[in-house]
């Protein structure tokens, strides 16, 4: 097998794509129990739109190791790509959806969009032009994301539903998940996230923070940790705006505490420490001292999630003791301002893109 792999690598380096495909087909025949070969052959076959062969290879790999999450993700992505291709050819897709359904993760905590049932359900509705009356910000934005990448027109009722959900029904975590989605498409029309930005800033107001804490206090910790992830990745496009959200959130929390409108707890203290670090409001030594107190209180109250968050922030401070000032230009794209002139509401001008999970 070693000689075959060397020959495969040689042809890959030379750019001999047709020879690479031939060699992979031969390797599958000779080594049908090799999962890595099946996944590689299947993924490349799907990429060149040889869907039947590619999906057969990926299904064989999945059967060899049903617990391999990445292998399953490749299979779901292959089926989704085939669905999109058949949709554009005006061919039936029901059998492909039936094959995909048992593979999907229906939990709300699934981080891999290739495996999340809500994401694939959103794809199906987008292709069929149907609305989801129970949609949240994440699924609505993902629908828009799909329409852009696949070359579908945006449904006429999308914007109204987005405004209703983002202003009245969204929580902190759901809104910030949308930022992650928006960052996955570097050419995504920037004016499409202006409503999101307004909704996020509104959620940081004193009134909204108080209401959110009354109904969903644990999500504050999740919000703080999600923001730390953003600042831990220097390639993120929205650093300046997220910093503005943090600053406004910190001001609201401090005002509520000062006026005794909320009760202090380790989650709030942790969130304030995050803002102190990100804004360079305190020196690292002072923040580490605050984190020690938060950790002690969290231990006394048996708040394991807070203790883990504290440990994560400590490790970030150890790696990068201070946050540099935001760059004037984003490494990937500029963030739109809130006072931009109104731009088109539809993406009719969108060219077709491959839907790439």
Q: Which of 228-232, 278-282, 285-289, 298-302 has the lowest mean pLDDT?
A: 228-232
Secondary structure of residue 67 in the 3-state scheme: coil
Give the CA-trace dihedral at 70, 72, 74, 78, to 10 degrees: -170
147-190 confidence digits (pLDDT tens): 877 788 888 888 788 777 766 666 666 666 665 565 555 555 55
Residue 131 pLDDT: 85
Residue 82 pLDDT: 95
d(CA 309, CA 222): 9
d(CA 9, CA 128): 42
289-318 confidence digits (pLDDT tens): 999 999 999 999 898 888 988 998 888 887
Name residues whose C-beta falls within 8 Å of residue 155's C-beta, 6 or more positions apart in sequence.
129, 131
Q: Please list the residue range(s) of the chain that carry CATH number 1.25.40.10.
A: 2-103
Other C-beta atoms lying within 10 Å of the C-beta of residue 254: 14
Beta bridge partners of 116: 105
d(CA 165, CA 316): 34
pTM: 0.58
Mean pLDDT highest for which of 66-80, 101-115, 189-203, 231-245? Answer: 66-80
Closest listed residue to residue 97, CA positions, set 108, 87, 111: 87
d(CA 53, CA 58): 9
232-272 confidence digits (pLDDT tens): 555 555 567 667 777 888 899 899 999 888 887 888 888 88
Top CATH class, 2-103? mainly alpha
Instruction: Tell me the pLDDT of the chain averaged across its residues.
Output: 77
d(CA 213, CA 246): 16
Grade residue 347 by pLDDT with cuts at 50, 70 and 90.
Answer: very low
Closest listed residue to residue 200, CA positions, set 346, 339, 313, 338: 338
Q: How many residues does the chain have?
A: 357
Closest listed residue to residue 347, CA positions, set 155, 153, 129, 194: 153
d(CA 233, CA 228): 9
Compute CA 48 distance to the chain's CA centroid, rounded to the nearest angstrom: 26
Task: Indicate whether 58 pLDDT > 80.
Answer: yes
């Amino acid at each position: 097998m070693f000689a075959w792999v060397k020959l495969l690598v040689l042809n890959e380096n030379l750019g001999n794509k047709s020879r690479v495909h031939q060699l992979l087909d031969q390797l599958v025949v000779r080594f049908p129990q090799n999962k890595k070969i099946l996944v590689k052959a299947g993924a490349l076959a799907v990429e060149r739109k040889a869907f039947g062969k590619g999906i057969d290879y990926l299904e064989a790999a999945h059967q060899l190791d049903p617990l391999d999450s990445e292998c399953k993700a490749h299979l779901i992505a292959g089926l989704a790509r085939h669905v999109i291709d058949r949709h554009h050819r005006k061919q039936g897709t029901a059998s492909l959806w039936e094959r995909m359904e048992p593979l999907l993760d229906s939990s709300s905590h699934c981080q891999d969009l290739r495996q999340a049932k809500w994401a694939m359900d959103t794809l199906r509705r987008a292709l069929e032009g149907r609305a989801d009356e129970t949609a949240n910000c994440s699924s609505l934005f993902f629908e828009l994301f799909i329409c852009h990448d696949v070359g579908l027109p945006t449904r006429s009722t999308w914007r109204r539903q987005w405004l209703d959900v983002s202003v009245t029904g969204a929580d902190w975590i759901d809104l910030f998940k949308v930022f992650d989605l928006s960052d996955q498409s570097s050419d995504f029309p920037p004016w499409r996230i202006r409503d999101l930005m307004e909704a996020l800033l509104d959620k940081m107001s004193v009134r909204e923070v108080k209401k959110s804490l009354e109904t969903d206090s644990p999500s504050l910790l999740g919000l703080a940790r999600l923001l730390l992830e953003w600042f831990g990745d220097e390639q993120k496009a929205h650093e300046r705006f997220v910093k503005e959200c943090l600053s406004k959130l910190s001001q609201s929390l401090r005002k509520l505490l000062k006026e005794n409108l909320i009760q202090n707890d380790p989650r709030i203290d942790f969130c304030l420490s995050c803002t102190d670090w990100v804004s360079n409001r305190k020196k690292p030594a002072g923040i580490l001292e605050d984190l020690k107190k938060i950790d002690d209180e969290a231990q006394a109250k048996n708040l394991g999630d807070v203790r883990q968050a504290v440990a994560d922030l400590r490790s970030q401070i150890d790696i990068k003791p201070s946050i540099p000032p935001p760059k004037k230009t984003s490494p990937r794209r500029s963030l739109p301002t809130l006072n931009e002139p109104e731009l088109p509401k539809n993406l009719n001008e969108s060219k077709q893109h491959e839907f790439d999970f």
